[in-house]
Amino acid sequence: MLDEQAYAGLRVLDMSQGVAGPYCAALLALQGAAVVKVEPPAGDWIRVMGGGEAGMTPLAVASNLGKRSLCIDARQPQGRAAIERLAAQADVLVENFRPGVMDRLGLDATTLCARHPALVYLSISGFGASGPWVDKPGTDSVLQAYTGLAMLNREADGRPRRIAMLVPDTVSALYATQALGAALYARSRSGRGRHVQVSLAECCAAFQAAPIFESALFAGSQAPPTAVPSGVFRTRDGFVTLLVLRQDMWERLCDALGRAEWRTAPDYRDNTARGRNAAALNAAIAAQLAEQPSAHWIATLEAADVLCAEVQDYAQFRDHPQMRHLGAFGELAQPPYRPLPMPYLPGTPRGQPIPPAPATGQHTRAVLAEIGYAADEIAALEHSGVAVQA
């Protein structure tokens, strides 16, 4: 499978921890890159975040698929020497420490890119490489609050609410992967690498480009609704979402609900009027949808060509006939667990097992041997605690 993929032959040194950097490197691995993940002797801190066994939390697994793990202490001269050897062979280096950490280790972009001009060096930070918040920790909750995501997801009473997944880290990994692809494409023409820098704050801004522009455009006034009616509505046995985008869809919804009188009602004549009366309209639709089960309304609304879907949990999503048809989920044989479903990376081959994430230091001896360490040298590094083999 890997021989067919775009990044086959690309060598990636992943020094990052957490989610944003590791998931970026995992995306490269799932497209064929050979990724070595460097972990400190205690392991990546994400291995203790959430439930799971043997350091294989869901976040650690999903963020490290397809990699090999080298567990080594970069604070020690012998550890740094090993990393320098790896960097000399790498096409890409990924790190997401606070600004200044890699400088203190002597593994900063200026130093390594000068030694290895073809190296593409990716730095992911919380708030950028300089400025008043350069040293502020950039966690998910902090970024969701800081960048408006929590306010965008606010409850009906206006209380900000965190989105219940690591959105800043995940979208930053996606933007970072795109930026790396662009840098590698430029290198294919010039032969030179570059230092690519992205921050979680800037990635969250780019991700919210439309609502941020809208907030500025309608500053001091209420922005008009995108579409009315819209929302999640309770049915007799669950929830459905529906959305009306155009006037003809509104008219079809009226017919499907048996509300022909709404077609000509002044309060509902167009989206602007419906926006002024959104609360009353949504309440009326909510009362009607609560009378029948979800399956009834999905069939009714789909027959009328109104945008709708049943609200599903992850198990329903995985087992839905459309996702089965697409082959969207593969089987992940991830020690120490039984085989479990994992989504394939979009655009990659389907039908084959998904490569698992490594245990901490699972490949330490093999990686050190590949970069020229003799067996007795590896044993000495292990004995001194500089290197750890799982």
Whether 235 contacts 204, CB under 8 Å: no
Mean pLDDT of the region 118-133 = 97
Output the pLDDT for position 325: 97
Query: What is the DSSP annotation of 117-179?
Result: TT-EEEEEESS-SSSTTTTS---HHHHHHHTSHHHHT--TTS-----SS-HHHHHHHHHHHHH
pLDDT digits (tens, 9 = 90+) for 333-343: 999 999 999 99
Give the pair of three-digit tokens for residue 66: 């397809």
CA distances to 19, 66, 260 from 62, rounded to whole Å, are 9, 10, 50
Res 1 pLDDT > 50: no
Res 2 pLDDT > 80: no
pLDDT digits (tens, 9 = 90+) for 283-321: 999 999 999 999 999 999 999 999 999 999 999 999 999
Task: Write down the pTM of the prediction.
Answer: 0.94
Res 24 pLDDT > 80: yes
* DSSP symbol at 96: -
If pLDDT is split at 50, 70 and 90, which confidence band does 113 have? very high
**Nearest alpha carbon to residue 243 among 209, 274, 267:** 274
Give the alpha-carbon dihedral of 284, 290, 294, 295, to 10 degrees: -90
Mean pLDDT of the chain: 96
Mean pLDDT of the region 246-264 = 96
Res 104 pLDDT > 50: yes
